[in-house]
A and B are shown apart, each in its own frame.
Chain A
Amino acid sequence: MRVLLVEDDPMIGSVVQGALRDASYAADWVRDGEAALTALRTLEYELVLLDLNLPRIDGMAVLHTIRRARNDVPVLVLTAREATEDRVAGLDGGADDYLVKPFAMSELLARMRALTRRKEGTTSTVLGNGIVELDPATHEARVGAVTVRLTAREFPLLQALLARPGAILSRSELENRVYGWNEEVESNAIEFLIH
């Protein structure tokens, strides 16, 4: 799944991006509001992690711009501002969830999964098409009685395919969901995996 991480602090940004990649997300990291809007205009993301204290364009302004453009990508606000007024402003401004620093990575990932479930319109925590079941939390796929833990490349691919059953995804769309910007696309990796 492709997510956009907007965070100006280099240490936090680097560890969160790393942790997201560990969790098999294709995570793109930008450090200011302007770059965030540019990225959102260029590519389709399935989730945005937005820090509010950003240089160039402030996080709340980015949020408002996203919503005004009728982009309904799920946005999870990450911030050090914990006061009730700030939370209310963030949620009413169009954020889907609000997480205060410091947070635990596990909680962030769980909330991201929750947002994705909402987006996809399912309440079931497990993706499936009747034959294959995929648990996003554990990255385990099950067919019948056999359970397999998927790799960092296999999981997002299967997830992308199962997310909208019946839909057809092009190769480049699949590549977008599996690879971040800085990751080399191995040319036949997708075909290999599909096979």
Chain B
Amino acid sequence: MDGREGPLTASLRFRLSLWISTAILVGAAIAGVYSYVAATDDAHRNQDTQLRQVGYLISRLDAVPTSPMARERVGDVDFDARLVVRFIDAPGARLPHPERAPYFSSTLPDGLQTVAIGRETWRVFVRTNAKGVRVAVAQQTAVRDAAARSSALRTVMPILFLGPVLVLLAALLVRAMFLPLQRLAAQLRARREHDLGELERAELPSEVWPFVAEINKLMARTVRALTLQRRFIADAAHELRSPMTAMSLQAERLAASDMPGEARERLEALSAGLSRTRVLLDQLLTLARTQESPVDQPTRVPLKKAIQECLEDLVPLAEAKAIDLGVVGDADPLVAGRPVDIRILVKNLVDNAIRYTPEGGRVDISVAEANGRVTLDVDDTGAGIPPEERERVFDPFYRVLGSGEIGSGLGLAITLSIANQVGAAISLLEKPDGTHGLRARVVFPGC
């Protein structure tokens, strides 16, 4: 997994959100249309029922009333919403001509119908009673249409409002559901490269579990392969010990016999070569050992004691180069790890400092404890390491060019391996006072 959010995740989320939103909006639209139609239909039916009821009521009259109908306005009823009653036909009766519109023609059939009179549209119910009296009850359609619209809107409004809210909610939910996956990606991104532990599947959706299981299996296979490789290196180095021993002893025995000066010089060069190979073998074995999985129960090692022990070994080397080697600070903290490994770690750093500092220089070792962490600094007055190489010097067999020093090239690799094993962080920095030289800093976790 690379550092960015993969396009797959974004598109899956996007697609989910898109389709859910579309479904919501379509559903809302359908619901809206349906309620509008239903509300309109209701309003029409209501009006028709009303007209019919009034029509039946009035057509019970036997004869056409001779006095004009009341024309008072009823209090709070809208004038345009009024019901209009007209007698349009009766056998043998002289119908009074209505004084005002609307006028309904006697050609209108019985029943419900919609009639346009002048500029208005009326819904009319016509009934002929047993005596032949024909009555028409009517109401403007504008009324019912207005009622229909307002009723429909009342039903549609919540849907219209809810639609966008649901869309937003859906988007947020989808995002929330995918959060565990993003967290997983972030977790993997933050892992250090040698950390091949299993993934936790507890928080993840079950659809992803098969993936997690396969990834865990893949990591287990990788760990096995790495372990085999390391064991091979360790075994190879171990196997080399016997021939090395034989050669060293043979060279030693040869040195004890008589030989001309020239031969003796050459023998010395040979012995030096053998010695260097022995050192390399030792380093290889140490590196292999420190690369194994962490110790189950590391002990707590007094750091100051480890420093003192390695100083004992290194003071002669420092004195030979007239280097001022000193320890700064009184802190005597404990760090977790195996005593022999901590000693090697410190010794490699100090040894490097001495080697790469010219004659007459200074190497300072300081220990500080703060916030439960222990910081070890080894400062030298050498040429330092260019920033672009500071990562690479920890690679096995990498040597800074031009330093002229012979080493196995494994010192820092071993140091890094030990640091990883105990959970410490190593960094190479400029010195705080800005003078030339290097600061090697190791920060141990609390213990």
Check A104 against B242 for contact (C-beta < 8 Å): no
* A91 CB-CB contact with B under 8 Å: no
From A11-19, A61-69, A181-189, the one touching the partner chain is: A11-19
A102 on the interface (CB 8 Å rule)? yes
A106→B242 contact, CB < 8 A: no
Most chain A beta-carbon neighbours within 10 Å: one of B249, B250, B253, B340: B249
Q: Number of A residues whose C-beta is below 8 Å from B?
A: 16
The distance in angstroms between the C-alpha atoms of A35 and B184, with both chains bound, is 63
- In the complex the two chains form, is A102's CB within 8 Å of B252's CB? no
CB of A18 to closest CB in B, whole Å:
6
Give the interface SS of chain A, mostly helix, strand, loop or mixed. helix
Using C-beta atoms within 8 Å of the partner chain, give the interface range for chain B. 10 to 19
Cross-chain contact A15 with B246 (CB below 8 angstroms): yes
Residue of B whose beta carbon sits closest to that of A82 = B285
For B253, the chain A residues whose CB sits under 8 A away are 15, 18-19, 22, 105
Cβ A80 vs Cβ B246 within 8 A: no
For A9, list chain B residues within 8 Å (CB): 242, 245-246
Residues of A within 8 A of B340 (CB): 84
User: A106 — nearest CB in chain B belongs to which residue?
Assistant: B252
Q: Which residue of B lies closest to A78 (CB)?
A: B245
Known: A22-B256, A102-B278. A15 touches B249 (CB 8 A): yes
* Min CB gap A59→B, angstroms: 14
Cβ of B343 to closest chain A Cβ, rounded Å: 13
Please, what's the 1-or-0 string for B328-366, where 1 marks a CB less than 8 Å from any CB in chain A?
A: 000000000000100000000000000000000000000
Contact check, B252 vs A105: say whether CB atoms are below 8 A apart: yes
- Among B241, B242, B243, B249, point to the contact of A105 (Cβ < 8 A): B249
Q: Which of B218-240 contact A (CB under 8 A)?
A: 238
- CB pair A19 B252 closer than 8 Å: yes
| B242 cross-chain contacts in A, Cβ below 8 A | 9, 11-12, 80, 101
User: Which residues from chain A contact B278 at a C-beta distance below 8 Å?
Assistant: 102
Chain B at the A interface: SS class: helix
Is B182 at the interface (CB under 8 A from chain A)?
A: no
Contacts of B18 in A (CB 8 A): none
- Is B244 an interface residue when CB atoms closer than 8 A count as contact? yes
Is B35 among interface residues, defined by CB-CB distance under 8 A?
no
Q: Mark A83-110, 1 if CB is under 8 A from B, else 0.
A: 0100000000000000001111110000
Distance (Å) between the CB of B173 and the closest chain A CB? 58
Among candidates A12, A84, A104, A106, residue contacting B246 with C-beta atoms closer than 8 Å = A12
Give 1 or 0 for each of B33-70: 1 = CB within 8 Å of chain A CB: 00000000000000000000000000000000000000
Residues in A with CB closer than 8 Å to B249 are 12, 15-16, 19, 102, 105
Asked if B252 and A101 make an inter-chain contact with CB atoms under 8 angstroms apart, the answer reads no
B299 CB to nearest A CB, Å: 12
With beta carbons under 8 angstroms apart, the residue of A16, A19, A102, A104 that contacts B244 is A102
- Specify which chain B residues have a CB less than 8 angstroms from the CB of A16 in the assembled complex: 249
Docked Cα-Cα span, A12 to B248, in Å, equals 10
Residues in A neighbouring B250, C-beta threshold 8 A:
11, 15
**Alpha-carbon gap, A104 to B249, bound state (A):** 7
> In the complex, A12 Cα to B252 Cα: how many Å?
12
Partner of A11, one of B238, B243, B252: B243
Residue of A12, A102, A105 with most partner-chain B CB within 10 A: A102
How far, in whole Å, are A102 and B243 apart by their CA atoms in the complex? 9
A101 to B242, CA, bound (A): 7
CA distance A195 to B295 in the complex (A): 65
Closest to A102 in B: B245
B249-273 interface bits toward A, Cβ cutoff 8 Å, 1 = contact, 0 = none: 1101100100000000000000000
Which B residue's beta carbon lies closest to that of A11?
A: B246
- Given the known interface contacts A15-B246, A19-B249, the answer about A102 and B256 at a Cβ–Cβ threshold of 8 Å is no
Which residues of chain A are near B238, meaning CB under 8 Å? 80
B256 touches A12 (CB 8 A): no
The 9 residue pairs across chains A and B that have the minimum distance between CB atoms: A11-B246, A102-B245, A15-B249, A101-B245, A12-B246, A105-B252, A80-B241, A15-B250, A19-B253
10 contacts between A and B (CB under 8 A): A9-B245, A11-B243, A11-B246, A12-B242, A12-B249, A19-B249, A19-B252, A101-B242, A102-B249, A102-B278
Q: Interface residues, chain B, CB within 8 Å of chain A?
A: 238, 241-246, 248-250, 252-253, 256, 278, 340
Instruction: With A19-B252, A101-B241, A106-B252 given, name 17 new contacts (CB 8 A).
Output: A11-B242, A11-B246, A12-B242, A12-B245, A12-B246, A15-B246, A15-B249, A15-B253, A18-B253, A19-B249, A19-B256, A80-B238, A84-B340, A101-B242, A101-B245, A104-B252, A105-B249
